[in-house]
Structure 1
């Protein structure tokens, strides 16, 4: 699968603006649909941030799942692959976490579950990013086998 190139410069502004909601202490306004990822740059070793859409949460185990919409090209994805230690914030709650990429079968099931819960979201995101996704259960499973799905396990995880 060919992943889209992440935007740079002014084109990246809409993708970066949600970070300021969290920086202003307004993470509670975003609710439980997004998380703020605080991670370490793989080259600079500086602290970096990204806001990511949550596609699944297991509150019993403290696991939070996200997709790398730009695939392996995303800087945050490359950074957490290099150093999986992170701090995530959901709403106003901050938690230490360890990132782990799901295998293709686990990822495809998470994507299928997400599309069953929110049928329009993947259609809209896929169209916006230029993915040609077959909008059937089989198509969602195939997409899930290709796109990186990351699980952030928090300290409350078992």
Structure 2
């Protein structure tokens, strides 16, 4: 397993940005990373995940990817309960609704991301393949509809 895959599968590493977002320091990540506050589909407990924005479609729509596929807990939680909160940039806990994208639309966004960020995509893809053991992993996408700022 390469170092990036090892880091992506190390719980404390991937959870490290959460306290920064919760403390209102999400702006340190620009708009590239965002935190989603969601509910556990079984427990109903509040959960947090930090993911990379694949694309900012508009000020109130952000596309994110489930790099570990359709089995990622946060992805499954959003399918069960699409109401969530999003912290991105200077915006904190903005009410939002998650919309799972169709596979063909997900592939289009992924292709655009790969074209815009070829080195990052190549490294991320290698890490996902290494971490999941799947040669061609499914990477579903979610569109987050943020309540517009007033």
Give the Cα separation in 2 of the matches to 1:20 and 1:121. Answer: 25
Partner of 1:93: 91
Following TM superposition, where does structure 1 have runs of at least 4 consecutive aligned residues deviating by more than 6 angstroms? none
Among 76, 79, 87, which residue is 1:78 paired with? Answer: 76
Alignment partners' CA distance in 2, 1:132 and 1:123: 13
**2:87 match: secondary structure:** strand
Gaps of 5+ in 1: 134-142
**Unmatched 5+ residue regions in structure 2?**
none
Q: CA deviation at 1:59?
A: 2.1
Give the TM-score, by structure 1 length: 0.80
| Structure 1 Cα separation of the partners of residues 70 and 108 of structure 2 | 20
Look up the match of 1:151: 143
Q: CA RMSD in A?
A: 2.0
Counterpart of 1:140 in structure 2 is none
TM-score under structure 2 length normalisation: 0.84
Q: 1:132 deviation in Å? A: 3.8
Q: How many pairs does the alignment contain?
A: 138
- Alpha-carbon distance between aligned partners in 2 of 1:104 and 1:128, rounded to the nearest angstrom: 21
